[in-house]
Structure 1
Amino acid sequence: MSGIKKYFKEQCQLRMCGLEHANPTEFYLSVWQTNRSATPLFILRLILFLGSLGIVLASSILYIQSGIYRFWFIYLTHWGITINVVTTGFATAVSARSFFYGPNRTKHQLPWYMKTYWILYNIAAPLAFLITLFYWTVLFEAGVQEELNYGLDIAVHGLNSLVMLLLVMTSAQPTRLLHLYQPVLFALLYFLFTLIFYLAGGVDMHQNPFVYYVLDWRRPGLTIGVGVLTGVLLVILYFLTIGFTLGRDAIANKLIEPSVYVKEEVPLRQPTDRTQTSV
């Protein structure tokens, strides 16, 4: 119990709402590493980025070929996989920056691209889990099929969560309790979008005046209720993401020598000393 109290005491400080962190190495090195090389995580993140990008392109191309591409942008699923692409893209960029130019030398002050990645990461992981859970438990049972290909349907609503789970479990940066406001604000943004969509006379690909039948603003009471319940589920899934993070760190601390994070000022790759001369 003392460990839980200590965790909440630390996490519930106002400064934890911010985006500063004492150890920038945790954004481009994995908890599972035994060295300071940025290469392993760079390669993995690049694969995750290309996989996510491939899913988005495949889905978009099918919508274009079917002549209904304008409807692609209204679904939360497509918002989610787009955020997956941007998140894994920033993750790759963070690792690439360290790989090509050496470690970030600032302390307690993250550069803008790390902060941006952290925000996207906080949103993308619980959102991916929400989309997968919501689709296969509610929409799929109701016969809703957003994608035009069943295989792609599985990729968009299943591989999206696998990608984010891999990103979470191979990273080292924390998932802060008070950063919960970030995915919640994103969810509120989409919820507001569905209302504006309805008021503007928008229709889905079947000419229904809503994006999802469970968010039909002709029945505002039910829609608000569904929105609140979905928001609660998102909060639970954010806590699950925190659980994944804490479990990852606890296991890694027992199995991996933590010296990988020592002496951040030491470059990941030693430059060649061109001043030395042969004897």
Structure 2
Amino acid sequence: MPPECEEVEIRGMLERNECPVDRAAVNKSPKLPALCGRRAMVSKFWCHEIGRRWRQAGKQEPPQARVLTEPKCQTHVATWYLFYRWIIFLVWTSFVICSVFEFGSYKPLFQYEKWPIYLTNWDMLLGFTQALIGGILVSKRWRLQKISDFDPCGLKLEFTERLYWFLYVVTTNLAIGVTMCYWFAVYNPEIHQLDPLNIMMHVCNSVLMLVDFVVTSIPFRLRNFWWCLSIAVFYVIFTAIYYVAGGLDKHGLHYIYKIIDWKRPARTLLVCAGGCTFVTVLHCVTCTLTDVRDRVYRKIAGKLGKPAQTNATNDKPLPEKQAEVV
């Protein structure tokens, strides 16, 4: 844009009060309107770009149901993947059992009725549920593959598949978020024990989901950020209700987590707002990692001369290999 045109545009924006700058200061300092104008133009550009990408995301069709039940490295469900999915379920089951009965704790408190109040245990329950549904769906897909004319692209994205997709995305982000928040904001060596149970609940949960994230084909969409955000908001509401009802934590304190102490509502609201923002940013990071994962697998498939897996509904059907019969 020519300098004179830019100056006219800047002064036009100033006249429409789009830039809160004193007119006298503008006339005395020619650099000020130029700086303000450039910032306004940059802001408009980013708003336009974000809006464009958001509209494109809204036009995205749902993924094919087959990508929820097959590994990233293959376009069919082999026997090893069937066993893998049920092993993941057994690991999550062991997590839940150990957390409920405090197996692996150096100083168990045996307050089983307090188990449901902690966000970490919500993550455990979500992980257990998604692993169970995943195992069932993969087992169903593995049986269907034995039919000679079975077409994986004909699978429908019904309620169970959508629920599994929702739970998997939420569990992945929540597991990573719980681990980071616990070690940076909650852990207190004077209260919490660095024992096998603590490591299992606040380290192994994230490691398990990251490993599974690399293996599976489940997509993460930027537009679905509200899935994780809804769980975070729901937990915040739960902590407020629990406080009003006079609930105590395992140590007899009138809060669940010290950083969410409703006796200090202003600070707690700021912490909750920061937590919701963190969950949203974490989902964006996970979506970026999903793109990286898909590109790496496509590059490897190209070098090996194999068909690359895609998630769109309008893609051509991929060749289906019959599952191994045990």
TM-score (norm 2): 0.72
Q: Indicate whether 1:25 and 2:66 are aligned.
A: yes
Q: Deviations over 1:196-249 (max 9, x none)?
A: 001111111222111111101111100010001111111121122112211110
RMSD: 2.9
Q: Indicate whether 1:159 and 2:204 are aligned.
A: yes
Report if aligned partners of 2:78, 2:323 keep a CA contact under 8 Å in 1: no
Residue 170 (structure 2) aligns with: 123
Kindly report which structure 2 residues correspond to 1:70-81, keeping only aligned pairs within 5 A, or say none.
Answer: 70-81=113-124
Partner AA of 2:140 in structure 1: R
Q: 1:139 aligns with which of 186, 198, 222?
A: 186
CA distance in 2, matches of 1:104, 1:192: 45
Higher Cα Rg, which structure: 2
Kindly report which structure 2 residues correspond to 1:81-230, keeping only aligned pairs within 5 A, or say none.
Answer: 81-102=124-145, 107=154, 109-141=156-188, 143-145=190-192, 150-230=195-275
Q: 1:258 aligns with which of 280, 300, 307?
A: 307
Report if aligned partners of 2:100, 2:112 keep a CA contact under 8 Å in 1: yes
CA distance in 1, matches of 2:158, 2:185: 40
| C-alpha deviation, 1:158, in angstroms | 0.4
CA distance in 1, matches of 2:76, 2:156: 20
CA distance in 2, matches of 1:110, 1:212: 39
| C-alpha deviation, 1:10, in angstroms | 7.5
CA distance in 1, matches of 2:158, 2:135: 15
Structure 2 stretches of 5 or more lacking a match? 1-48, 311-315
Report how many residues are paired: 261
Residue 313 (structure 2) aligns with: none
Report if aligned partners of 2:182, 2:202 keep a CA contact under 8 Å in 1: yes
CA distance in 2, matches of 1:11, 1:99: 37
CA distance in 2, matches of 1:244, 1:11: 21
Deviates more, 1:93-102 or 1:184-193: 93-102
Report if aligned partners of 1:36, 1:260 keep a CA contact under 8 Å in 2: no
CA distance in 2, matches of 1:270, 1:91: 19
Structure 1 stretches of 5 or more lacking a match? 272-279
Higher relative contact order (CA 8 A, sep 6+): 1
CA distance in 2, matches of 1:142, 1:220: 26
Deviates more, 1:255-264 or 1:155-164: 255-264
TM-score (norm 1): 0.83
Q: Indicate whether 1:244 and 2:313 are aligned.
A: no
